[in-house]
Structure 1
Amino acid sequence: MQPFRLADHPSRPMHPVPPKPLPPPGDDALDQARRDFLAAGHTLENIRRDFPEWHRGRPRYLLWAIDADRPAIRENVARAAHHLQDILLADYVRQPHITLALCGFPTDEPQQDDDFGPSALLAQLKALRRAACAPFMLQIGQLASFSSAPFLAAQDLEGGLGVLHDALSPTTHPSGGPYVPHVTVGLYKGRYPTPQVQARLDAHAARPVLCPVDRISLMSYAASEIGGPLAHLADYDLASQVLVWHDDPLHLKLQAASSSSTGIRSHPDGSAIH
């Protein structure tokens, strides 16, 4: 068969939506997040330091996410960050993304509860194939907040986010709360009264953007760095159900395990064969 290359199947462009007033949050996860934020009383102070008690020397942490690092979304994130710049931690450089599920610390032989090994990846890939989620559309716009971080809410227009999250979540570590799809704007640098912060969030003029999704990505970040950049490890194409690995020698056993299960062979140039 001919090699499948992501370059042959480019993502559909993102289309800005004409600005219009956003409706107030409904009785859903976003509404619950708003209530929780106000009930917290104060934002959480994020501290720029290493957290060895969490990572215990394990260098990288893995997650599944939608890559939202596109011009229209970057602009919206930058506008929101500028609106809140006096209360956000400096040097937050993580690319725009929508987390679907947390994985854990990659390892060939899991020992800890939050380790992530080849068998866990195989379970995720099988779940994705059973779900058979088709490409879908999101809308990203409204500025909202968790106690630790403001975000742009992602509206699941066609149900694809829910399908993917439900498929991946049983194989990962639960977060303990309802799933609120979002693009993080930054991290709070101090304790600020949430009613006052909420008023600033509501005063921000959101610019909704339509975001087509035809693939999801396996990503990682340095566990010792708060708000550091994401590394792009692999892409799972929704239409073809093909996992395409990028050249990453640190995760060869994960690649080998996925290939043995799915019949996909990885190539250094980012192509794959069924």
Structure 2
Amino acid sequence: MLPSCSRTTRLLSVHGDQIGAPFYPVPAQDTFDALDDKWRFAGVCAELDLPVPATRRFETMADLRRDLHRLGYPLILKPAAMSGGYGVRKIDSVEELPEHLNYSPIICQEYIPGEELSSFYLCDTGRIVASFAYRRTLTKLEEIRAPEIDDHARRLIEHFRYRGVIGFDIRRSPDGRIAFIECNPRFWYHMEVAMLAGLNFVTLGCRLRDGEGGPADPETLKIRSPRRLCGNLLTPWRLNRAERAYLRYIIRDPAISAWAAFQSAIGRYRLAGGQLL
């Protein structure tokens, strides 16, 4: 059995041993609950001395407005336990604060300017077996090596004796400061990015469950945006292996490919899974 989201991951954490079928490695229930909630995750980071933006929690927008004098701008508003970026809003001034939000509680977090990084790990009882990190912009996606991020992640993984896959959303400011924004103690939306580099986290986790060894090092990944790749279709020798694999990936479905081509032409198509801006 393979968990595909937060609910199914937690289901296996709680009842996996009672199902009577082999299942993918998952974290313990209390570990999952502590990391899947954005407010609790910020508290975990503070306890372990991991870099995290200043974070506050409010039950309603009325509560938040009563504390306006303590807020700095820009800031981020988001729900505590929703995925896919749902409900996340960047607020640049007090005038942009909404009157109401359709979720509660409200997590209010310092905004860290700079670039967005993603870092993922497969773990076996506190030991990192495989890892993959990348950064994504409007023009390209490329794998990165970030020892500082790995060191912080390792402390959290060892602390919880973590088992299974785990990912972190991170911001890195122009002066090099990093901050852990969110944690995904489960499979993530853009798993195909690691697969393009040669890391299949599904297969690796199944092997881990069966007691087999870890993977070989993946190839270095660098992929330009679909719009830039289309400009090189007549010169395919300029595409690297990952870019060719990525093009094969996005053209498997003709309807999706036609839509992606249109969105790419107007500059709204993002790398990794065809997500729109």
Structure with more strand by fraction: 1
Structure ID, larger Rg: 2
Q: TM-score normalized by structure 2?
A: 0.26
Larger relative contact order (CA 8 Å, sep ≥ 6): 1
Q: TM-score normalized by structure 1?
A: 0.26
Structure with more helix by fraction: 2
